[in-house]
């Protein structure tokens, strides 16, 4: 039997099955936590905000259009919460920026031992330098490389044109290369 889709579960929640929302939490808890940690860089803030994301998702589940994919919808809520958290942090005088778009090329080669090693090294490099890149560019990098979303999904989440996603990814990669210096990120 095939696993129930996120959209089908969301429909059950919309129909009044509140317990079904627990299944969505199970599916997205680790993903959203990873996204929050990479975007916000503060584990305490991240845990609280992920909890807020699930609360807002549950409160607004009736606005979800089940003919569309659930993933971009909940990631959009996450994006909004992260931006709000950054604004609050900025108003307290704690600011950081990251530019991801120009540093890491997306791996498109068929899976091989070499490509797996390169991808692992790319992710390690991304982890190492991510905190030095502006959030404007960090977020697309995280969504693309760590959450493995495509340009269209990122475009929906960030509510920017697909072409802007490409530009931000290119600029973020460039910023990461500038930060990392001339040494190779992988061999």
Instruction: List the domains of the chain with CATH numbers.
Output: 6-91 (1.10.1740.10), 113-180 (1.10.10.10)
Which pLDDT band, with edges at 50, 70 and 90, does 170 fall under?
A: confident
Which pLDDT band, with edges at 50, 70 and 90, does 65 fall under?
A: very high
pTM value? 0.66
| 6 within 8 A of 15, measured Cβ to Cβ | no
| 70 within 8 A of 64, measured Cβ to Cβ | yes
| 179 within 8 A of 129, measured Cβ to Cβ | yes
Average pLDDT over residues 56-60: 95
Whether the predicted pLDDT of 106 surpasses 60:
no
Q: Which of 55-69, 91-105, 109-123 is the least confident region?
A: 91-105
Query: So what's the pLDDT on residue 25?
Result: 95
């Amino acid at each position: 039997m095939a696993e129930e889709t996120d959209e089908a579960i969301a429909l059950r929640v919309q129909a009044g099955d509140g317990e079904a929302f627990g299944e969505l939490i199970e599916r997205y808890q680790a993903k959203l936590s990873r996204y929050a940690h990479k975007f916000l860089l503060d584990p305490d803030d991240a845990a609280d905000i992920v909890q807020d994301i699930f609360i807002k998702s549950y409160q607004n589940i009736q606005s979800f259009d089940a003919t569309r994919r659930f993933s971009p919808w909940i990631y959009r809520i996450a994006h909004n919460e992260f931006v709000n958290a950054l604004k609050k942090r900025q108003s307290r005088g704690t600011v950081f920026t990251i530019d991801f778009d120009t540093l890491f090329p997306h791996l498109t080669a068929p899976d091989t031992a070499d490509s797996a090693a390169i991808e692992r090294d790319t992710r390690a490099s991304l982890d190492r330098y991510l905190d030095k890149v502006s959030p404007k560019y960090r977020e697309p990098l995280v969504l693309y490389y760590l959450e493995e979303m495509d340009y269209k999904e990122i475009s929906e989440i960030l509510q920017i044109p697909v072409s802007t996603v490409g530009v931000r990814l290119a600029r973020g990669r460039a910023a990461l290369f500038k930060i990392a210096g001339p040494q190779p990120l992988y061999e």
